[in-house]
Amino acid sequence: MTDNLIYGPVPSRRLGLSLGVDLVPYKVCSYNCTYCQIGTTPETTIERKPYIPAHMILDQLSARLKEGVRPDYITLGGSGEPTLNSQMADIISGIKSLTDIPVTVLTNGSLLSKKDVRNDLAGADVVLPSFDACDEKTFFKINRPDSHISFTDMARGLIEFRNVYSGKIWLEIFIVKGLNDTESAIKKFKQWTDRFSPEKIHLNTAVRPTAESDIQRVSEEELEYFCKILGGNAEVIAPFKKPVVNEELMDTEKKILNMLGRRPCTLADISAGLGLHPNEVLKYADPMINRQTIEILHANGKTFYRKKIDD
Ligand code: SF4
């Protein structure tokens, strides 16, 4: 998918209004996380290459910025793992020559053990890596990484990155019930995060539909308690609370509702049908699930959204 590489701006709890940029096609990733909200990874990879050339991304972004869009952040991420794009450094420096809007990178952190990846991220203003496990066993259960990635390398890469990177690191920890949610697990996270020294720690959980249907969330109260263990720079980012609804949202919500009124659809169906990026669809779906106008249905190993029928 290279025809629509820029999406949003979408409202983000962490990033305000965020203009998303895809650096890899859906869904090129080094992980196949059980909790992934955009679907399963058909085949993991650690191969870095220009999956989408820098000039193509920058041309589309330039056109979008000329339309007058003014987000709080330009966010590299979206449809997979952005550090797999070997032209990431050119993309970041190209964005810097187009605008002074800060650049953020959403990464799973799996390739930070590679010096070229650490160097390529140097120009970003904020890097948001994931860190969901404190040992190899849990790492493989939750993130299901490519066979070339080990927990030790991944964690060491984060420490090395912290030592050389002068921008801000906002670390995300995704908590899954039964896998990494005990008090002793959180205390181990604290030992690791002390070594990474992130400016912020963001706690998330499975509030939205996940790749595997048996992944369960923890409560907001539990996450708040875990924040206390992790320290003053930790906060809950899982969207438990009802998002603010505006007119533009309502218009797109109506289109989604119309579509789901005809038949249940997957995230990919809605995305293709309405020409929206999967991450944009998720932003619209959240308030609709909260207001119970739509609901989630798991069937044949897939996650469907359907219009809620009154009891
Ligand atoms: S959550 Fe991120 S890192 Fe994990 S599989 Fe999905 S896109 Fe890849």
**Span 41-73, pLDDT tens digits:** 999 999 999 999 999 999 999 999 999 888 999
pLDDT band at 176 (very low <50, low <70, confident <90, very high): very high
The token pair that represents 309 in the structure block: 């029928």
pLDDT in tens, 203-237: 999 988 888 888 899 999 999 999 999 999 999 99
Going from the Cα of 44 to the center of ligand 1, the distance in angstroms, rounded, reads 10
CB distance 81 to ligand 1 below 6 Å: yes
pLDDT given for residue 207 in this prediction = 85
Q: Higher model confidence: residue 259 or residue 64?
A: 64
Q: Which helix (H) or strand (E) holds 198?
A: none
Q: How far apart are CA 257 and CA 291, in angstroms?
A: 13
CB distance 36 to ligand 1 below 6 Å: yes
Mean pLDDT for the stretch of residues 261-274: 83
- pLDDT exceeds cutoff 60 at 245: no
pLDDT band at 242 (very low <50, low <70, confident <90, very high): low
**Shortest-distance Cα residue to atom 6 of ligand 1:** 36
pLDDT given for residue 301 in this prediction = 76
pLDDT band at 2 (very low <50, low <70, confident <90, very high): low
Q: Residues near 61 by Cβ (< 8 Å), separated by ≥ 6?
A: 5, 6, 21, 74, 95, 98
Ligand 1 atom nearest the C-alpha of 80 is 7
pLDDT given for residue 247 in this prediction = 57
**Neighbouring-strand partners of residue 299:** 302
pLDDT in tens, 74-88: 999 978 999 999 999
The structural domains of the chain, ordered by start, are 6-236 (3.20.20.70), 247-307 (1.10.10.10)
Mutate to test the pocket of ligand 1, among 23, 27, 28, 36 (most ligand atoms within 8 A of CB): 36
Angle at 35 between CA 241 and CA 54, to 5 degrees: 95
Q: How far apart are CA 213 and CA 34, in angstroms?
A: 9
Mean pLDDT for the stretch of residues 176-193: 97
pLDDT given for residue 248 in this prediction = 59
Going from the Cα of 29 to the center of ligand 1, the distance in angstroms, rounded, reads 7
CB distance 108 to ligand 1 below 6 Å: yes
**Neighbouring-strand partners of residue 51:** none
- pLDDT exceeds cutoff 90 at 289: no
Q: Find out whether 311 and 110 touch, Cβ atoms under 8 Å.
A: no
Query: Which is nearest to 134 in space by CA: 125, 126, 143?
Result: 143
